[in-house]
Amino acid sequence: MADIQVEQKHSLSIEEAKQRIGGFEEMLSKYGVKVDWRGGSGTLNGTGVSGGIDVTASTVKVIVKLGLMARAVGVDPVKLKGSIEKRLKAAFESTG
């Protein structure tokens, strides 16, 4: 399994930060990945993909684990990491 880890700093409350990453969740759902939230932590589950999102008062951390199925269909971990970084940065651009 390939692990992708991305961290984005912010200066929002946990609830505000979760709202900001709503667009990121929409992107995940297009690929059949669901997020199950429990407080500030979300579990990612989809075909060939697992991981989590942890939202604290200062950071959002995304961990994606690509299984063999994702690799077999050509998911590039480097491109995926870049896409996640870009989307999180855009979501929090106006905060610290």
Mean pLDDT of 55-61: 96
**pTM summary value:** 0.87
pLDDT in tens, 23-42: 888 888 888 899 999 999 99
Task: Give me the DSSP letters along 5-48.
Answer: EEEEE--S-HHHHHHHTHHHHHHHHHTT-EEEEETTEEEEEETT
First vs last C-alpha separation in the chain: 33
Superfamily (CATH H level) for 2-91: Alpha-D-phosphohexomutase, C-terminal domain (3.30.310.50)
pLDDT in tens, 40-55: 999 999 988 999 999 9
Residue 4 has pLDDT above 90, yes or no: yes
What's residue 32's pLDDT?
84
Domain extent listing, the chain: 2-91
- What is the average pLDDT score of the chain? 89
